[in-house]
């Protein structure tokens, strides 16, 4: 049972079972051809006895297809991405696929690198999660690498903006933020501030613009915007800056929940009473953040579900033109934005 060096191979199993490798192969993987039950049983027994595990590389090479999908995210430690990753992972499991995780840390060149690595792996598909950048050159570079990947027979789907020529789950950031702005205006808020995130991230930009448009449409003054990193600390310092500016505002929209949390902390640091002195809203509805105080008004995105949908697109037969499905967030009003006046 114990082998000397490397691994047990199919021919070891075949020899042990007294059949040919072809028969062993057919018995173990269930090919189109059928194998006599007794032989099949003998092979299975031999495989078990030897603790045989097929060499996936060899199978991939012989079959010309792997069972691997790549998941490319900005930062797996960010709950936005880890929630999506959980959905992808679960769905992959159900489909019998393996997930290769790649963290780009937001660096464009990493994205290209991973895409190429995935092509080298002959991955069956790649799921690109996260905001595109305003930089068109970068989008073009990704498009080109994506084309190469697809040319090699892989499928690609993106979760973000409809900027790549691939199946995409488009998140309607502008619409969601707009709906939030209108709702807040309706609740009596009128002087808005926006913690706008990095100006080169489409997601941040769209949410900012959508909110701005919604506010203006509702008859409010254009919100005062402060940019900053798309993180807790980014929200903290943007909020501090906004507070320092001395502008009169009654409600702040952070372009994601994580920033909103930083903003809340910044307000506390200044001794502000929330939500009495200032209303704050976020975007995403991160599960881990649902218990902060005051509970956060936000735009809910079905993150885990998005991951699942992405896997479905990836396993579906490829169409001729890129499919686009749209996901609109739903506004969730909580304690952080009480009715005003």
Binding site for its own copies (CB under 8 A): 2-3, 6-7, 51, 53-58, 60-61, 64, 66, 68, 71, 75-77, 79, 82-83, 85-86, 89-90, 93, 98-103, 105, 110, 116-117, 119-122, 148, 151-153, 232, 258, 261-262, 264-265, 268, 286-289, 291-293, 304
Residue 107 three-state SS: coil
Look at residue 39 and give the partner it binds from DNA, its own copies, none, a contact being a CB closer than 5 to 8 Å depending on partner kind: DNA
Regarding 153 and contact with DNA (CB under 7 A), the answer is no
Task: For 324, list phi and psi in degrees, rounded to 5.
Answer: -125, 120
Residue whose CB is less far from its own copies, 38 or 291: 291
CA distance linking residue 267 with residue 265, whole number of Å: 5
The partner residues of 69 in beta bridges, in order of sequence, read 99, 125
**x/- string (CB under 7 A) for DNA, residues 55-84?**
x--xx-xxxx--------------------
Task: Pick the binder of DNA from 1, 4, 15, 26 (CB under 7 A).
Answer: 26
CA distance linking residue 1 with residue 16, whole number of Å: 11
Residues 230, 198 contacting (CB under 8 angstroms): yes
Hey, what are 173's tokens? Answer: 């950031």
Look at residue 28 and give the partner it binds from its own copies, DNA, none, a contact being a CB closer than 5 to 8 Å depending on partner kind: DNA
Look at residue 315 and give the partner it binds from DNA, its own copies, none, a contact being a CB closer than 5 to 8 Å depending on partner kind: none
The partner residues of 251 in beta bridges, in order of sequence, read 192, 279
Look at residue 321 and give the partner it binds from its own copies, DNA, none, a contact being a CB closer than 5 to 8 Å depending on partner kind: none
Name every residue whose Cβ is closer than 8 Å to that of residue 190 and which is 6 or more positions away in sequence: 219, 220, 221, 250, 340
CA distance linking residue 85 with residue 306, whole number of Å: 9
DSSP code at position 288: G
Residue whose CB is less far from its own copies, 147 or 216: 147
Residue whose CB is less far from its own copies, 103 or 190: 103
Hey, what are 243's tokens? Answer: 């507070």
Task: List residues near DNA by CB under 7 A.
Answer: 6-7, 9-11, 19-23, 25-26, 28-29, 31, 33-36, 39, 52, 54-55, 58-59, 61-64
């Amino acid at each position: 049972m114990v082998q000397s060096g490397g691994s047990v191979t199919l021919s070891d199993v075949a020899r042990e079972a007294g059949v040919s490798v072809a028969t062993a192969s057919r018995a173990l993987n269930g090919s189109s051809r059928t194998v006599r039950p007794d032989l099949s049983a003998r092979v299975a027994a031999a495989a078990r006895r030897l603790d045989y595990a097929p060499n996936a590389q060899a199978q991939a090479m012989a079959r010309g297809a792997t069972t691997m999908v790549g998941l490319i995210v900005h930062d797996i430690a960010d709950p936005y991405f880890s929630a999506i990753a959980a959905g992808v992972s679960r769905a992959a499991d159900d489909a019998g696929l393996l997930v290769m995780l790649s963290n780009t840390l937001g660096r464009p060149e990493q994205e290209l690198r991973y895409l190429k690595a995935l092509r080298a792996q002959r991955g069956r598909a790649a799921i690109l999660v996260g905001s595109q950048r305003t930089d068109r050159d970068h989008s073009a570079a990704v498009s080109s690498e994506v084309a190469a990947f697809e040319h090699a027979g892989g499928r690609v789907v993106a979760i973000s903006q409809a900027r790549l020529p691939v199946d995409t789950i488009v998140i309607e950031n502008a619409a969601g933020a707009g709906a939030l702005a209108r709702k807040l205006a309706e609740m009596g808020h009128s002087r808005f501030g926006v913690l706008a995130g990095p100006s080169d991230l489409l997601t941040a930009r769209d949410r900012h613009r959508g909110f701005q448009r919604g506010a203006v449409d509702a008859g409010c003054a254009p919100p005062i915007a402060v940019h900053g990193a798309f993180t807790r600390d980014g929200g903290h310092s943007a909020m501090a800056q906004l507070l320092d500016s001395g502008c009169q505002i009654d409600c702040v929209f952070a372009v994601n929940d994580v920033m909103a949390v930083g903003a809340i902390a910044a307000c506390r640091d200044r001794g502000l009473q929330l939500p009495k002195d200032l209303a704050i809203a976020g975007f995403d509805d991160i599960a881990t953040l649902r218990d902060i105080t005051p509970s956060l008004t936000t735009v809910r995105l079905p993150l885990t579900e998005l991951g699942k949908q992405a896997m479905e697109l990836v396993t579906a037969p490829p169409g001729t033109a890129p499919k686009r499905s749209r996901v609109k967030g739903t506004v969730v009003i909580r304690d952080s934005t009480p009715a005003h006046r």
